[in-house]
Amino acid sequence: MRATPPSASGIGSSAKCASLRFNSLRSLQLRIPSVTLIALLLPFFLITGAMGQATINEKLETVTLYVDGATGNDSNPGTESKPFKTIGAGVSAAETNNHNSIGTKVTIEAGTYRESITMSHSSKDTSLPITIEAATNGTVIVSGATVYTGFSEYSDNHSIYTTSWTNNWGTCPQLSTCPFQQEITMRQELVAVNGTVLTQVMSITQMQQGTFYVDETGNLLYVWPASGTDMGTATVEAGTSSSIFQIDHKSYIVIRGLTFQYANTCHASAAVAVTGESSNIEFDTDIFQWNNGQGLSISNPATYFTVENSSALHNGDSGFQEATTLYGLWQSDTTSYNNWRGAQGAYYVCNTSGFHAWQVHDDTIDGLTISYNEAYGLHWDTDNASISTSGIIATSNLRSGIFVEKDEGPITLNTAYICNHTGAQVVGGLVLRNSEGVSLTDSVLMNNAASQIILIGVKGGIEVTNWQTGKETNLITQDFTNTGNTIQGNSSTQLLFDDGYLNDSDWTTFQTSLVSKNNTWWNTSSTTTPYTIPSPNDWTYDDFSSWKSATTQDSSSSYKQPSGSPGTACALSPVGTDFWITVDNALLTVKPGKSATFNLALTPLNFTGTVTLTLDGITEVKGLSATLSPNSIKTSGTSVLTVTAGTNTAAGTYSIIVIANNGSITRTVTVQLTVS
């Protein structure tokens, strides 16, 4: 499923574009008046060998401007001896140079720059490049946070500190095309103490070590930092800027060596966004981390861009978002530990992934690591076409490794590693939902629940409209190529599983267009029927011989234990110490006098210890009762939350918060119970 496409603010309507900007000869900009004309020009790009990436000649930059937050002044000329103080001043001067046909490099000295930068289209824009880069990669932080001071001890608990708070933003808007998002998911407050982001809770009673609470009525911020923190000297930062860098309808821009963090962007919006027909944009060795929403979004529509050597880490929504784009290159990038904000509301689906892409055409991915995201790993979500990838490593994500949904294709996965997706939330390793032309070659799929490859979808197909051509296609999963792969299940996991939707003519379409050969299939358990297909009946469990007979494929493949250690590339260890608390259902419904069961799971990330589970939201509701079994988990495991509505419990929907704590680490997940 998908949300509406992002606009300049990150949330928009359907992808309808008045025009696109191309750089067809890498030096001449051509204004295209309609998407229909773009479709007519596509053969031209194919003939000229256009490929997805930015082409920016930085040698044309003849002037260097300097920024130094410690010694600079925005009244200075921006020379090395008299630098600007802010990045915004340096960028503004570079844009003025651009309008005078002067290419410019802006060099930024180490420091934290608390500002929001916007580069907007001007009729004076020229094709001369602008590079904005750190003097030393990784030493420049562009922060959306303000430093808060004046804390005093809270009288009822001396471990909690308070200060005034006037940023009463309320709740962000719901994503109307997605499942309901609970209030905690749609909040935008973000607080860090000495560089550690705290977990937001919704009341004083929910507070434990490592949390914060905003009382909008009383205009107070409550902080419970790690034990031993000296709040007199601690640096307390609160995100107050929703957008910290935006490029709108610009061309020939390079951003290099910068870290973007602490934007308080709403769910489904981005801290750093490229929008509005931008072309030839390059991000190189940048970090997008600890933002409340998405890290980096490129959309509506962007063409000829490159994101390389960059990382999206610990963002509250998706790490990377790409929507309605043409000719992009992603090279040697990482997206990990994202969707913590969504996970607080048991929201792991629609529009949340390590890398979320929709309406993406002519994209190239060369080396992408996707790990430990509390969502899908990589989700190609609707109208993705002409995608070429190599060297993807997707491991240990909550929902799946790679999810291909409602895509015309072709989508090529070469030398991919999709491993270690386990647990109750997992859909599968490689998931195909009403998508065509997917090719998996020379890859490894191992230890994924419930199946290494899983086919799900809607019987009879799903209509999808190509955003460029306007052509509507009824998509039924077909033309799947599966060659030269190692596919290994563990325990009772399946190798290939169809959920029953590909029956009758849909199965015939899939089976007759399937190419599967030169593979090594294996299951480490005693399972002898690791294939589930809808022939001759739904839910038919086949062994390898029956699979070959039913599909007329894999005659050159083998069913044997793979040699060596084919999954070594997936053996990634998390960085830092943390844990997840997740749940199998966000919302359940009961009648008065009946019970509902939520299954909780604790997933450790370099964590060993005992996590104590407590509840909030039960005693506040008349007649409601609950049990946690067990109420503590050591290192990893599960707990069952049973909630019972009394005969006197009023009809309504109630939020129940599970609080998981170990020392200074507190994580929460909120579920809802509807009493009908």
The CA-atom distances, in angstroms, between 99 and each of 42, 48, 96, 125, 422 are 31, 30, 5, 5, 54
pLDDT computed for residue 177 by the predictor = 87
Spell out the residues 6+ positions from residue 110 whose beta carbon is closer than 8 angstroms to its own: 134, 135, 136, 139, 140
Confidence of residue 51 (pLDDT cuts 50, 70, 90): low
* pLDDT tens-digit map of 98-128: 999 999 999 999 999 999 999 999 999 999 9
Element of type H or E holding 382: none
| Average pLDDT of span 317-342 | 98
* pLDDT tens-digit map of 171-213: 999 998 899 999 999 999 999 999 999 999 999 999 999 999 9
The answer to whether the CB of 541 falls within 8 A of the CB of 550 is no
pLDDT computed for residue 490 by the predictor = 86
**Residue 568 confidence (pLDDT) above 70:** yes
Stronger pLDDT, 41 or 162, i.e. the higher one: 162
pLDDT computed for residue 503 by the predictor = 83
- Percent composition of the chain: helix, strand, coil (DSSP 3-state, to 5): 10, 45, 45
pLDDT computed for residue 101 by the predictor = 98
Percentage with pLDDT > 90 across the chain: 88
pLDDT computed for residue 176 by the predictor = 86
State residue 513 phi and psi, 5-degree precision. Answer: -105, 0
Confidence of residue 493 (pLDDT cuts 50, 70, 90): confident
DSSP secondary structure, 165-217, as one string: -------PPP-TTSS---GGGG----EEETTEEPEE-SSGGG--TTEEEEETT
**Residue 654 confidence (pLDDT) above 80:** yes
Structure tokens, 374: 């509390």
* pLDDT tens-digit map of 233-278: 999 999 999 999 999 999 999 999 999 999 999 999 999 999 999 9
Structure tokens, 163: 């200060």
Confidence of residue 28 (pLDDT cuts 50, 70, 90): very low
| Average pLDDT of span 663-671 | 98
Confidence of residue 419 (pLDDT cuts 50, 70, 90): very high
pLDDT computed for residue 223 by the predictor = 98
**Residue 14 confidence (pLDDT) above 70:** no
Domain boundaries, the chain: 1-23+52-144+241-348+365-375, 146-239, 382-572, 578-675
Class of domain 578-675: mainly beta
**Residue 384 confidence (pLDDT) above 70:** yes
| Average pLDDT of span 486-492 | 89
Structure tokens, 651: 């009809």
pLDDT computed for residue 385 by the predictor = 98
Confidence of residue 48 (pLDDT cuts 50, 70, 90): very low
Mean pLDDT score across all residues of the chain: 92
| Average pLDDT of span 597-602 | 98
| Average pLDDT of span 5-31 | 30
Confidence of residue 24 (pLDDT cuts 50, 70, 90): very low
Confidence of residue 601 (pLDDT cuts 50, 70, 90): very high
pLDDT computed for residue 383 by the predictor = 98
pLDDT computed for residue 499 by the predictor = 79
**Residue 27 confidence (pLDDT) above 90:** no
pLDDT computed for residue 145 by the predictor = 98
| Average pLDDT of span 478-495 | 92
Write the burial class of residue 578 (CB in 10 Å: 0-12 exposed, 13-18 middle, 19+ buried).
middle
| Average pLDDT of span 411-437 | 96
The answer to whether the CB of 50 falls within 8 A of the CB of 327 is yes
The CA-atom distances, in angstroms, between 281 and each of 179, 254, 278, 559, 601 are 33, 6, 7, 47, 41
pLDDT computed for residue 658 by the predictor = 98
Determine the Cα–Cα distance for residues 366 and 355; give it in Å rounded to an integer: 14
